Structure 1
Amino acid sequence: MVAKISLEEALLGTMVTVRTIDHRTVRIPITDVVFPGYEKVVENEGMPILDKYPQKGNLIIRLAVEFPNYLPKSSKELIARGFTMAKIGGGVSQHEVINKLVLADKILRSRS
């Protein structure tokens, strides 16, 4: 299956909800940075194997990243600053720094 996620979710992580063929809802955490061609394999949640019923195959989720149509200049500068800080941050992961910067930006905007 293909699941659409935002650029933010691709970088910071998300939870993908899948409705299975047997009418169950499965929530799949995506904690990796999603890159072009990324696939998440969920063992034993795919289609039933006919000659081995009730055994199931693997569910393969391909993630399609939806990019925003527009980003204000201030947002681009903030993201660029996050990547720069991560490069010189000495072991701090990029998504953590960006997440903190985005949160700080939201707090500043709510005070305005």
Structure 2
Amino acid sequence: MITHPKAEELTEAVAAWIEQIRPSLDPRNAFLARVAANALAAVTRELKQGPAAEAAAVERMAALLGRSGAFEDLNGELCERIRAGELTVETPGLLEALRATAFEQLAIDQPNYRHEL
């Protein structure tokens, strides 16, 4: 059976190769190689953690809005209702939902960020 590497396996392999050759590069290219490796690491985290984070965000938004739907639709409606003042800091569960979504995105974008709950 022929199997293909998963996208996250490919990004991890390329990042590892970049880190292997980075010490032999001049300072400017070593810096650019580190930037590239960091970008690949972010893509890898998005591939691994993104689907679960999005599914959890959809559940939270659906509970707040009282309807189901796709992430983009729910997110758009949530933003509109916040802008319109229909949902405020007094809305039960809103701040908790926004905080959870933000922390899940931070875990993908900046995994070394330490926050206080």
- Judge same fold: TM > 0.5, yes or no: no
Richer in helix (by share): 2
Richer in strand (by share): 1
TM-score by length of 1: 0.27
TM-score by length of 2: 0.26
